[in-house]
Amino acid sequence: MLNFSYVNPVKVVFGKGQISRLRELIPMNAKILITYGGGSIKKNGVYTQVKDALAGHHWLEFGGIEPNPKYETCMQVVEMVKREKIDFLLSVGGGSVLDGTKFIAAAAKYEGGEPWDILEKGAEVKDAVKIGCVMTLPATGSESNSLAVISRNSTQQKLAYYSEKSFPQFCILDPETTMSLSERQVANGIVDTFVHVSEQYMTYPVNTPLQDRMAEGIYLTLIEETPKVKADPMNYEVRANLMWCATWGLNGWIAQGCVQDWLTHMIGHEITALTGTDHGRTLALVLPAVWSYLRESKKEKLLQYAQRIWGITGNDSNQVIDEAISRTKAFFRQAGITATKAEYGVTDEVCRKIAEIAETRNPRWGERQNITGKDVLAILDLCD
Amino acid sequence: MLNFSYVNPVKVVFGKGQISRLRELIPMNAKILITYGGGSIKKNGVYTQVKDALAGHHWLEFGGIEPNPKYETCMQVVEMVKREKIDFLLSVGGGSVLDGTKFIAAAAKYEGGEPWDILEKGAEVKDAVKIGCVMTLPATGSESNSLAVISRNSTQQKLAYYSEKSFPQFCILDPETTMSLSERQVANGIVDTFVHVSEQYMTYPVNTPLQDRMAEGIYLTLIEETPKVKADPMNYEVRANLMWCATWGLNGWIAQGCVQDWLTHMIGHEITALTGTDHGRTLALVLPAVWSYLRESKKEKLLQYAQRIWGITGNDSNQVIDEAISRTKAFFRQAGITATKAEYGVTDEVCRKIAEIAETRNPRWGERQNITGKDVLAILDLCD
């Protein structure tokens, strides 16, 4: 196990009817800005629940944080936060709204010049407006981490940052809010969670048996619950279990002491930046190819995964790995993600651009920080 | 899954050489009291590491917090904390030192009269002195929870309390500090962790598949690592994995959304209070009897445990459960706990006293809060 130091200070408030607890979770004297996305919270009753809970509080709202939240949009909200002297940001929606809100919170207090530097140059976040969230889409784990991913229209970039200042103070997870999600959103969320686990698990081993078992527990639960949510979308228990998996997929704990990869995400982010493809779909496309291409370097964990998750064993390790990858792809299809590279617009031109980006990275991408543009081209070539 | 609300604010600092980080973890202007036990930290080099890290800080020390920390001892230290205006308590040692330190921290700020009321009457802890810890004995999970168990000589009581004010601010977990533990301490710690997991897992099911898998992950890791620590006590990786299991056994996360029991602990605490038997040993004695006696009420989970942990299946559920219990007892023996009820001094008189205590409890003990004195006698009768 590697040395580590970690604290996750997010209070998790989980279950039916918990949105009403906003009343006690946000100080009465706070000046709140509620941030949300395209308005689905107005259709599914979440907006009304939030409003009811905050009766008596002082709040404003900003609706319109888009999927893959844009720097340009966030900077508009930063102006509003400063102008209105907002001291609490309440994100209501999915991971995109929350990621945008985290960045707004940091950018509003940033004094080093252009806040884009936080993303592009790793400029330190020294302070941020306080954040809370009502999470309505189980996928990103953003509700329980200090990470945000922001895109910039003008440069077609999609970049991540993290900072201890960007943990929400609390997250409210009411599985009932997820029942109105589209099948597409549910599928994306399941795959996103699955791939988060993979980025922290499918790496060269450093003797972390408990972390491995916890990661495998998330895989197994996703695999068990996915057919249930397809068959019975209004089942509260299933929704609750999927929601809890998403939080654990990226609350940081399964990664502590382990080697991490994030190569699939790096390639996936570039595909989204260049083609607009949903994040979850880029991951479903890229992950199997990464595993196949890096099968030697990830061999021990791929074999462990094959055996513990799918019950596949055998003397021919290549065959075992191929079968495990094939089962993984089948699981993504079962979750509902079936489109191909061609349909996502991942042309040769797009592949070349991503390979060029990989070449500029210092350190390079991957768990061993050794992924070249040529490797990226080979991986993208393996994508179906 | 049940509704829940939880935050664990403890910063975990894990690995070789991390005691030196005390320097940055405790503010320079704090007036520190270092608390420890019988002096083993002076033999194994931990005391020197702590002293070196705190060169430049202002600190005093109190050595002599005993196993099953005594109220009487804690109250002596409370006087010292008040007299010396201590504003940071640093616990260096195992769970007993830390539990005692947590109680000292709460009692020193308690203004409601006799601090024993915190334990006996559930009086609220409104404030506490700040705490940090260097944990040297993987067992209790105290380093990462808000719980403390305190004994009182004069009344032969052993009682627990918890309070959000009693979380340590940080815990330093250096597996190297555990290499000088006696075989007895190692065995007690493994069984303590195993039984903590059981109190949160072996209950009637409420559809918590991810929490179940995480708990099972701790069981499986303990079972894999125990023979290794016996065969190769100086193996850092094995010590690291056992230490991390102990933290996860009782940092609160595997219990969220689940039903909890704690019956084995309640009976075990009384055995310790009446006979002085090590905590871990009382648990090894009582757990198999609790499972056997409550096999109907715990049936689903016992069968799941039998299958997932020991690979035992079959049509005769009683036989499967008997075999799973038998494997569990064998595991405790393998860990190093072999003594019997008679050797621990658990006489008929002791059993009667514990049954009487069970009768006075309101609510009653157990996951269904229905355990009578008669049940306790039957359970103790089943102990080997």
pLDDT, one tens digit for every residue, chain A (384 residues): 999 999 999 999 999 999 999 999 999 999 999 999 988 999 999 999 999 999 999 999 999 999 999 999 999 999 999 999 999 999 999 999 999 999 999 999 999 899 999 999 999 999 999 999 999 999 999 999 999 999 998 998 989 999 999 999 999 999 999 999 999 999 999 999 999 999 999 999 999 999 999 999 999 999 999 999 999 999 999 999 999 999 999 999 999 999 999 999 999 999 999 999 999 999 999 999 999 999 999 999 999 999 999 999 999 999 999 999 999 999 999 999 998 999 999 999 999 999 999 999 999 999 999 999 999 999 999 998
Residue B274 CA to residue B75 CA, distance in Å, equals 22
Identify the closest residue of chain A to B236 by CA–CA distance. A1
Cβ A105 vs Cβ A140: under 8 Å: no
- CB < 8 Å to B169, chain A: none
A7 lies within 8 A of chain B by CB? yes
From A5, A12, A213, residue closest to B5, measured CB to CB: A12
- CB < 8 Å to B245, chain A: 210
Contact: A1, B15; criterion CB under 8 Å: yes
Cβ B331 vs Cβ B305: under 8 Å: no
DSSP symbols for A304-348: HHHHHHH----S-HHHHHHHHHHHHHHHHHHHT----TTTTT--H
The pLDDT of residue A94 is 96
- Rounded to a whole number of angstroms, the distance between the first and last alpha carbons of chain A is 35
Cis, bond preceding B209 (omega within 30 deg of 0): no
Contact: A1, B240; criterion CB under 8 Å: yes
- At residue B6, φ and ψ (nearest 5 deg) are -155, 140
- CB < 8 Å to A208, chain B: 241
The pLDDT of residue A98 is 98
**Interface with A, mutate which of B4, B178, B193, B210 (most A CBs under 10 A):** B210
- CB < 8 Å to B8, chain A: 8
B16 lies within 8 A of chain A by CB? yes
The pLDDT of residue B323 is 98
From B7, B211, B221, residue closest to A11, measured CB to CB: B7
Residue B370 CA to residue B364 CA, distance in Å, equals 5
Residue B14 CA to residue B177 CA, distance in Å, equals 12
CA atoms within 13 A on the CB side of A241: 27
Cβ B234 vs Cβ B180: under 8 Å: no
Contact: A216, B213; criterion CB under 8 Å: yes
Residue B263 CA to residue B361 CA, distance in Å, equals 12
**Dihedral sign computed on CA atoms, order A127, A133, A137, A142:** positive
**Dihedral sign computed on CA atoms, order A309, A312, A314, A316:** negative
The pLDDT of residue B339 is 83
- CB < 8 Å to B12, chain A: 4-7, 256
3-state secondary structure of A250: coil
Count other C-beta atoms under 10 Å from residue B275's C-beta. Answer: 15
- At residue B41, φ and ψ (nearest 5 deg) are -65, -20
Residue A118 CA to residue B157 CA, distance in Å, equals 56
The pLDDT of residue B39 is 86
Question: What is chain B's percent helix, strand, coil content, to nearest 5?
Answer: 55, 15, 35
- CB < 8 Å to B6, chain A: 11-12
Q: Which residue matches tokens 């905050």?
A: A54
User: What's the mean pLDDT when you consider all of chain B?
Assistant: 97
Question: What is chain A's percent helix, strand, coil content, to nearest 5?
Answer: 55, 15, 35
Q: Which of residues 75-134 of B touch A (CB under 8 A)?
A: none
**Residues A111, A37, A28, CA angle at the centre, nearest 5°?**
65
pLDDT tens digits along B289-340 = 999 999 999 999 999 999 999 999 999 999 999 999 999 999 999 999 998 9
- CB < 8 Å to B212, chain A: 217
The pLDDT of residue B384 is 85
Identify the closest residue of chain B to A214 by CA–CA distance. B214
Residue A187 CA to residue A182 CA, distance in Å, equals 9
Q: Which long-range contacts (CB under 8 A, 24 or more apart) does A117-125 make?
A: A118/A161, A118/A163, A119/A71, A119/A150, A119/A152, A119/A157, A119/A159, A119/A160, A119/A161, A120/A157, A120/A159, A122/A161, A124/A163, A125/A161, A125/A163, A125/A165, A125/A166
Helices (H), chain B: 22-25, 40-43, 46-53, 71-83, 95-107, 116-120, 183-201, 209-231, 236-249, 263-275, 279-293, 299-310, 317-335, 348-360, 373-382
Contact: B210, A241; criterion CB under 8 Å: yes
Count other C-beta atoms under 10 Å from residue A23's C-beta. Answer: 14
Calculate the alpha carbon distances from A290 to A60, A265, A325, B148, B332 in Å: 44, 11, 10, 47, 43
The pLDDT of residue A339 is 83
How large is the ipTM? 0.97
Residues 6+ apart with CB under 8 A from B113: none
- CB < 8 Å to A132, chain B: none
* Beta partners for residue A63, in sequence order: A36
- CB < 8 Å to A17, chain B: 3
Give the mean pLDDT of B275-297. 97
Calculate the alpha carbon distances from A77 to A70, A72, A84, A100, B5 in Å: 11, 9, 10, 10, 30
- Helix A317-335 / helix A299-310 crossing angle, nearest 10 deg: 60
Contact: A6, B17; criterion CB under 8 Å: no
- Helix A183-201 / helix A263-275 crossing angle, nearest 10 deg: 140
- At residue B133, φ and ψ (nearest 5 deg) are -150, 150
Count other C-beta atoms under 10 Å from residue A352's C-beta. Answer: 14
The pLDDT of residue A183 is 96
Contact: A224, B245; criterion CB under 8 Å: no
Q: Which residue matches tokens 């991490």?
A: A260
Count other C-beta atoms under 10 Å from residue A184's C-beta. Answer: 13
Give the mean pLDDT of B48-62. 98
Chain A with chain B: Cβ pairs closer than 8 A: 126
Token pair listed for A151: 């895109």
Q: Which residue matches tokens 């030192």?
A: B97
Token pair listed for B224: 């894999």
CA distance A173 to chain B (A): 10
Identify the closest residue of chain A to B168 by CA–CA distance. A7
CA distance B249 to chain A (A): 11
**Interface with A, mutate which of B194, B214, B248, B307 (most A CBs under 10 A):** B214
**Residues B142, B265, B355, CA angle at the centre, nearest 5°?**
150
Contact: A217, B216; criterion CB under 8 Å: yes
Calculate the alpha carbon distances from B55 to A243, A328, B45, B46, B135 in Å: 47, 54, 16, 14, 20
Cβ B143 vs Cβ B67: under 8 Å: no
Residues 6+ apart with CB under 8 A from A124: A112, A163
Token pair listed for A177: 């809010």
Q: Which of residues 167-186 of B touch A (CB under 8 A)?
A: 170
Count other C-beta atoms under 10 Å from residue A214's C-beta. Answer: 26
CA distance B146 to chain A (A): 14
Token pair listed for A21: 């607890």
* Beta partners for residue A160, in sequence order: A149
**Dihedral sign computed on CA atoms, order B127, B129, B134, B140:** negative
**Which residue type does A91 have?**
S
The pLDDT of residue A17 is 97
- CB < 8 Å to A8, chain B: 8
Q: Which of residues 228-247 of A touch B (CB under 8 A)?
A: 237, 240-241, 244-245
Is B112 a residue whose pLDDT tops 90? no
